[in-house]
Structures are given as C-alpha cells and as structure tokens.
Chain A
C-alpha cells in the first residue's frame, strides 16, 4: 500500500529529469569532442554509453532487481562522462573495460545509484590510467584531416583504427600523437627546463586551449563548450555555485601565488585553469550529487580540498594531471564533511 502522508503534491522533479539535464549540459562538450576528434570520438562515446547501459542492465538482472532504473539516464551519463575523459586513441576494448569498471566497481558493488562513494566515471578512469598508463597518456593531434597520417573525418579509417589499432593501418602511435600541455610541462621540468621555456617550445596558446584545439582527452580540451554546459546547469539549478566556484578559485589562487613566487617552476593560473580536466571536473565530476557533500558549507570545503589536491598533484606529483585523483580522494572525505558541516538549525545558538 502506498504511503499516504503529507505533502500531497510534488514539483514533478525526478531522477531521470536530473540526469537528462546533465546529459543536455554535456552536449556542447560532446559536440566539441566529435568536431575535434572526428569519428573516433563518436565511436568511443557511443561504445562507452552503450556498454554502461548494458552492464547496468546485466548487473540489475543478475541481482534480481528491476531493470527499469537502468534507463533512468544515470548509466548513460556515466558512460558519456567516462568517454569524455578518455583519449580519442583508445582501442574499443579498453573503452568497454572502462565502462564495465565504472558500472560494476564504481556503482553496483556499493548498492547501485545513490550509494556509491566515488564518482563512477572518475574511478573507472583512475583504474584505466593505472592499468594502461601508456595508452591513457597518448594524445591524438586534434582536427587532423586528410593531410595528416590519420584522417579523423574518414569513417572507414577511424572504424579500422578503433577496432584493430594503429598497426592495422600501418601507423605508429608516435606519428599521430603529441604530448598534452600538462604532460609536456611536467616532462620538460624533470629535464630541467623551466615552465616559460617549455610553453614557448610547445607553441602553447591560451586561445587554442580555451577553444579546445590543444591535445588532451576528448571532452576536456574545449573550455568554452564545458563552460556553456556548466552555466546551463547553474541556471537550471541542477548544481549550485559552491563546488565549481570554490574548486576553481582555490586552484587559481594557489597557482597565482606560487607563480608569482617562482614563475620558472610553477605554471601561471590561466594555464592551470584551461589545461587538463579541471573545468570538466569542477562542473560535472565534483558536482556529482551522490559523491559530493549535501550541505553548502560542506560543498565549499569539498571544493577547496579538490582545488588544493589538484594543484599539488600537478605541481609536485608524478602524474601531470591531478584533477581526477583530487576528486576521487575528496570523495572519501564526503561522509566526514557531511557530518561536520551541518548548517545551524533554526533557533539553536541564534542571537538571543
């Protein structure tokens, strides 16, 4: 028998609506990915989304639960988010493996939607990065058309590349890939080359980084497309400003201060902002409701923590990119943050 308790009306919001809103907000970034990386991006994204939904259905069926919730949009969103964080050159089976990791290890082992401690897409990406470090840090040259070794806008070629790898096309990865700005700066620093010199040698351009034509993960390169989606989410009130603002502000502040102290070692704030997965993480990963704090104060603490960790890993860590590790690490702290960042309840400790 249904529970009959007030209130008797509802505003009509639902999980499906929330998920669809986020997917809609990711459309600009998805379109940018397809524009920049051609059919390879399309194939990877489609594979990831389908694998996630299928894995979800299989998991639910295996556990004897209703498979209806596999179509609530959350699995598709996980697939889309995961694909956007991957390099376009990944072979199909790694994309499928990542999707299975995301749904099984990232979500269903905890009890399904709402119970996962970590962001499923990011935890899958971490597993992939640790398992396949070379493939996960090999970046295709964006927008390489007919003149290049691999024409990204030729469907036959891309399909062959996706299914059989570069060897089948008689290519080596070196011929069609380049380092990402973050990776380049890190490698050069270990060789004793300072940041300004490294950036100059890379022909780094802030405008290209903003629009997306620097090398990187499929959906992370275009800051513009991500910002459009992020602002849409803020406007629709699907997310609040607390996490993205505190996260980005922390990174910018740390980068600005240390860049001022030692410009040779520490990259400038705008470089940090536009490089890697920071904007994607700030608007779409760290704001994942399930794995982030509930209260506004907690969200600000969470955002600051993500910011500090991201900057520290990028500046001192072994990996060039730290955004996803930062979010996954801060995910662990969420129950604690939630407990200690509760708002002051009405009438308790108010001014007398």
Chain B
C-alpha cells in the first residue's frame, strides 16, 4: 500500500522517493555566486599515472620530450583504466615517484612537465555529426579522451556507456546534487555551461539508448534548476525531466540518488545498470560533450577552492597536475600554520598532510579551514551511549555503533556479517555521534584488515594446493618408478608410456 501511494504521488506530482537516513549539514556554500575563473599556469605540472579507479598507466613519453596540451602521455593498461594527457604544452623534465592525495601518503610514478606557456594543443577530430555515429565509436572516443566520473569516484566513464542486450539502460540520471558542504563546482557548471551539459546528456542518451532522462538538482540551487530547465527546452529535449530534490546529505551518492529518484535499490554487488539505470555527474556530461563534439581530452576540471581560511575563495578551472600549494597561494593563502587543508568535501574528503600533491581528476574541492573548527572531531572519543542516532542517519541502514565495536575488537568475520562492505563511508554516523566516535575510521580499518586477511587466505590456499599437487606428483613418480623397476626385473620390457601421462597431469 505505501509503495502504491508512493508510485501514485510520483506519477502525479513528480515527487522524489527519498532515501533512508541522511543528515542536514550546514551548507557553507561560500562560492555559490562566484563565476568560474581560470587558474594561473603552474611552473611545473605533476601528472600521476593513476587518477582513476583501476590499473595504473604506463608513460609513453621520455624525459626531454616536447608535449602539447591534450597529447596522450600515458597508456591505459587493462580494461578498467583511463589514459593520461598532458595538461599544458611544454617539456617533460622528469618521470619519478611523487606523493599524491591518498590517506596513506603513498607515492605514484608521475610525469613532470614544465609548461612553455605557448599553449599549443592537440585535439582529435571534432564530430559535429555525432548523432549519426555508432555508439561503439563514440565509446572508443570517450575512452581515448581519458574520461572518468568527475563527481569524485573517478570510475572510467566509457565502461558505463555501453548498450547491453541483457541489461538495457532505461533511465539516465544526471547528478547535479552536489550535497557536500562548501562545494559549488557542479552548481557553477550548471549555471555557466548548461547547454554543454544538456548536449552531453543527449550524447550519453544516444549511446545507451535510454528512454528516460532525469537531471537531479537539490532545492538549495533554484537558479541552477531554472537554468537547466531553460537549457533543456532550448535544446529541444522537452522530455528530459529536471527534478528538484529536497536538500539532504548524501543524496549525491549514486546508490542513494537512484533510490531517491526511482524508488529502487541497486542490489548488493551489482551495478546500477542491473536495474536499468545509468548515473553520471553533470561535470562528466560536459566532458563527454567536449570529447565528442570538440575532440578535447580531459586535461582540466573545475575545483571549488573554499573554506574560512582562504582569503579569496572561488571556483577555478585548474589543469591537472597543478600542485595544491600553487593553487592555494594563488588565492592568497601562504601561511598554513594552524590550518587544515582538505582534498574534496568536508564529509568525505581527506585531510592533506602534504600540499605538494597535484590536483587530479578526482579533485572536486580544496578546502582550507582554521584548526579550531575541526576540534570537534578531534575531541577525544567518548564511550558509546548507544543513542542510535548513527543507525537513524545511515543511508545504507547499517547499525554503525555495533559494527564499529566489531571492527575495534578485531572481530572481522562478525563485522562482515554486519555488512561492513556495504558502508559507503559517507560520514553521516560520525557527523551526528554525540560521543564523537570516529566510526568511519573504524570501518576503513576493518575493511583494510579484512582485505589483508582475504589476500593472505587466498595465498595460503594457493600454497596448500601447490604443495598438495607436489606431493601427489612425487607419489605418482615413486609409483611409476617402482612399477617400471618391477616390470624391468620381470620382463625386461621397455617402459610404458604411462609415465608420460603422469607428467602431463601434474603440469595441468
């Protein structure tokens, strides 16, 4: 009955379904009214060989080579990967390991480019006639241009843009939610480049053959809703629905957005396409448009540079590889004492210990906040009073306090039973915890430990099989030898080919 009412209300008033839990966060969108500006060119660009989810790339250039903006400088290895392109013209000065934005502070091989300032660029052939082209051809173009999801997950875009006989995409959802506090990247893109985003949506829809298309925007961005509605009409795509969602974190998370719009859940371990949905960020849609229509690879992105400690916050178009230190200095932030720098948003982003890391495809925001503001999360962890607020806000419907107990006590099998791996690390539980328990931190710890345990279990299993196979082989050889000897003794006949069979088996 409730499902029926929901369906009815949705059909009548286009009311979204909503998702479980979530929190109302202080928006702090300081840069919402600031137009996108170009960031100055850094004297050196540091391009990591992995800026996506998947396998790292292999450099195609050598030290001393001259490269143009848009030139492919690293080749994707494997299927889940995206190539890297030079983000400015100039000279390759070195290829070596450098720190990247990663919780472990780990390093990756990076290509260092010294820009010459000429801005010589290299693009692929512009395709004005994309509508006549084969979806497979467009997909290859998007793969070659190094596109990844720009909402923050950086999953290679081409993989999702596929026509599958078994799982047809019925609904394309364009994600313009941007629910993280401070961040205004997608908001500004929708205001300033609505036509390009809508054109990108048209290309995506053409590729996957979706019947329905929805652009989802939260009601804290009424101007973006208005602009997108106009752009949709101007593009002659009246059947594209621009849906206003009530503002609630983490609505921009793919699974939660799909639930809020379609009322359906993505089954565990499956992809959205299994329920006929494709979700793309508005920035990705714009990048799709540039890649297809103008042949332009992904070499830059819009980043919100914000936070109370930034003298001149803004929305900047930044070439990949620009060091974070250079970006912040450009906005008047030089003295970094008692200031926390966050890569991403305050709910899911990661605090940078080293700001010489480069801006990459995943960088949707760079925040600088004065230290005292962060103190609440650093105030010492109090015992859990089991108030249950964490379960109330969990969008995945976990029971975070019990789950954290299991992780803290190293009861990982139990944690897995409590569906640890379904945690999306949105941070709602930690945000509301009156005991300031860093729940998400415990979940990351548990996931890491479990991954380690699985690896060593797999290794042990492999060793066991190998040692068993060896024992069997030795046993067979012994028997074969004994048989041969007895035969030789008895009949003086030559050995039979059964030996060869045994050897053949053990190799297989």
Contacts and interface: CB of A to CB of B under 8 A. Distances in A.
Interface of A: 2-15, 17-18, 69, 72, 112-115, 240, 289-290, 292-296, 299, 338, 342-348, 350-352
A11 B431 contact: yes
Given A13-B432, A296-B392, A346-B259, 8 more contacts: A6-B425, A15-B382, A69-B382, A113-B382, A289-B387, A295-B399, A343-B397, A350-B267
A294 to B, nearest CB: 4
Nearest to A14: B434
Contacts of B481: none
Contacts of A15: 382, 385, 434-435
Contact of B396 (A114, A240, A299, A346): A346
A342 B401 CA distance: 12
18 contacts: A6-B440, A7-B430, A8-B351, A11-B23, A11-B431, A13-B389, A14-B382, A15-B434, A17-B434, A18-B434, A69-B382, A72-B382, A293-B388, A294-B386, A294-B402, A295-B399, A346-B20, A348-B267
B333 to A, nearest CB: 17
Given A289-B388, A343-B399, A4 B351 contact: yes
A162 B41 CA distance: 81
B265 interface: yes
B185 interface: no
B376 A10 contact: yes
Contacts of A348: 267-268, 419, 422
B340 interface: yes
B141 interface: no
A350 B402 contact: no
A7 B348 contact: yes
Contacts of A295: 388, 391, 399
A112 B23 CA distance: 30
B399 A342 contact: yes
A6 B255 contact: no
Given A12-B376, A345-B398, A346-B422, A114 B23 contact: no
Contact of B386 (A13, A289, A346, A351): A289
Interface string B412-428: 00000011001001010
Contacts of A14: 382, 434-436
B422 A11 contact: no
Contacts of B347: 6-9
Contacts of A114: 382-386, 435
Given A7-B440, A8-B346, A18 B387 contact: yes
Interface in B264-278: 264-270, 275
Contacts of B23: 11
Nearest to A299: B388
B383 A115 contact: yes
A347 B422 contact: yes
A294 B344 CA distance: 32
A278 B266 CA distance: 44
Nearest to B182: A9
Interface in B93-116: 103
Contact of A347 (B268, B376, B392): B268
B461 to A, nearest CB: 27
Contacts of A72: 382
A8 B396 contact: no
Contacts of A13: 389, 432-434
B385 A8 contact: no
B38 interface: no
A243 to B, nearest CB: 11
Nearest to B380: A2
B399 A338 contact: yes
B431 A347 contact: no
Contacts of A350: 264-265, 267
A347 B436 contact: no
The 5 closest A-B pairs by CB, nearest first: A7-B427, A114-B383, A10-B376, A5-B441, A347-B268
A2 B378 contact: yes
B377 A10 contact: yes
A235 to B, nearest CB: 16
A244 to B, nearest CB: 14
A265 B266 CA distance: 55
A113 B385 CA distance: 7
Contacts of B395: 346
Contacts of A289: 385-388
A9 B377 contact: yes
Contact of A5 (B384, B389, B391, B444): B444
A338 B376 contact: no
Contact of A294 (B26, B350, B399, B431): B399
A346 B270 CA distance: 12
A299 B387 CA distance: 11
Nearest to B26: A9
A18 B385 contact: yes
Given A295-B399, A347-B268, A352-B267, A7 B431 contact: yes
B73 to A, nearest CB: 31
Contacts of B20: 346
Contacts of B378: 2-4
A293 to B, nearest CB: 8
B265 to A, nearest CB: 4
Contacts of B18: none
A182 B176 CA distance: 62
A345 B267 CA distance: 10
B388 A3 contact: no
Nearest to A341: B399
A234 to B, nearest CB: 14
B374 interface: yes
- Most A Cβ at <10 Å: residue of B264, B384, B399: B399
A48 B391 CA distance: 34
- Most A Cβ at <10 Å: residue of B349, B387, B402, B433: B387
B394 to A, nearest CB: 9
Contacts of A2: 377-378
Given A289-B387, A294-B402, A8 B441 contact: no
A10 B430 contact: yes
Nearest to B181: A9
Nearest to A338: B402
Given A294-B386, A294-B399, A345-B268, A8 B342 contact: yes
Nearest to A350: B265
Nearest to B400: A294
Interface in B4-40: 20, 23, 25-26
B10 to A, nearest CB: 16
B209 interface: no
B438 interface: yes
Contacts of A3: 378, 438, 441
Contact of A7 (B377, B383, B389, B444): B377
B264 A351 contact: yes
Nearest to B342: A8
A345 B397 contact: yes
Contacts of B427: 6-7
Contacts of B382: 14-15, 69, 72, 113-114
B25 A9 contact: yes
A114 B392 CA distance: 19
A7 B264 CA distance: 27
B240 to A, nearest CB: 27
Contacts of B386: 114, 289-290, 292, 294
B454 to A, nearest CB: 20
Contacts of B385: 15, 18, 113-114, 289-290
